[in-house]
A and B are shown apart, each in its own frame.
Chain A
Amino acid sequence: LAKTTQPISMDSYEGQEVNITCSHNNIATNDYITWYQQFPSQGPRFIIQGYKTKVTNEVASLFIPADRKSSTLSLPRVSLSDTAVYYCLVGDSGGGYNKLIFGAGTRLAVHP
Chain B
Amino acid sequence: NAGVTQTPKFQVLKTGQSMTLQCAQDMNHEYMSWYRQDPGMGLRLIHYSVGAGITDQGEVPNGYNVSRSTTEDFPLRLLSAAPSQTSVYFCASSPHEAGAGTDTQYFGPGTRLTVL
Q: Please give, as numbers and ranges, the residues of chain B lying within 8 Å of A87 by CB-CB distance.
A: 42
Report whether A102 and B110 are in contact in the complex, using a CB–CB cutoff of 8 Å: no
Number of interface residues of A (CB under 8 A): 28
Q: What does the 1/0 interface line of B66-110 toward A look like (CB < 8 Å)?
A: 000000000000000000000000101000111111111111111
Report whether B50 and A105 are in contact in the complex, using a CB–CB cutoff of 8 Å: no
Q: Which of A32, A43, A96, A103 contacts B92 (CB 8 A)?
A: A43
Q: Please give, as numbers and ranges, the residues of chain B lying within 8 Å of A51 by CB-CB distance.
A: 101
Q: What does the 1/0 interface line of A32-63 toward B look like (CB < 8 Å)?
A: 10101000011111100101000000000000
Query: Is B45 part of the contact surface with A, judged by Cβ < 8 Å?
Result: yes
Q: Please give, as numbers and ranges, the residues of chain A lying within 8 Å of B104 by CB-CB distance.
A: 46, 49
Q: Which of B90, B97, B109 contacts A93 (CB 8 A)?
A: B97
Q: What does the 1/0 interface line of A89-105 toward B look like (CB < 8 Å)?
A: 10111111111111111
Q: Report whether over half of chain A's contact residues are helix, strand or loop; otherwise say mixed.
A: loop
Q: Which of B40, B99, B101 contacts A104 (CB 8 A)?
A: B40
Q: Which of B31, B43, B56 contacts A102 (CB 8 A)?
A: B43
Number of interface residues of B (CB under 8 A): 31
Report whether A92 and B102 are in contact in the complex, using a CB–CB cutoff of 8 Å: yes
Q: Report whether over half of chain B's contact residues are helix, strand or loop; otherwise say mixed.
A: loop
Report whether B102 and A91 are in contact in the complex, using a CB–CB cutoff of 8 Å: yes
Query: Of A41, A44, A45, which is in contact with the most chain B CB atoms at under 10 Å from its CB?
Result: A44
Report whether A97 and B102 are in contact in the complex, using a CB–CB cutoff of 8 Å: no
Report whether A93 and B102 are in contact in the complex, using a CB–CB cutoff of 8 Å: yes
| With A43-B90, A44-B107: A103-B102 Cβ-Cβ less than 8 Å | no
Report whether A32 and B101 are in contact in the complex, using a CB–CB cutoff of 8 Å: yes
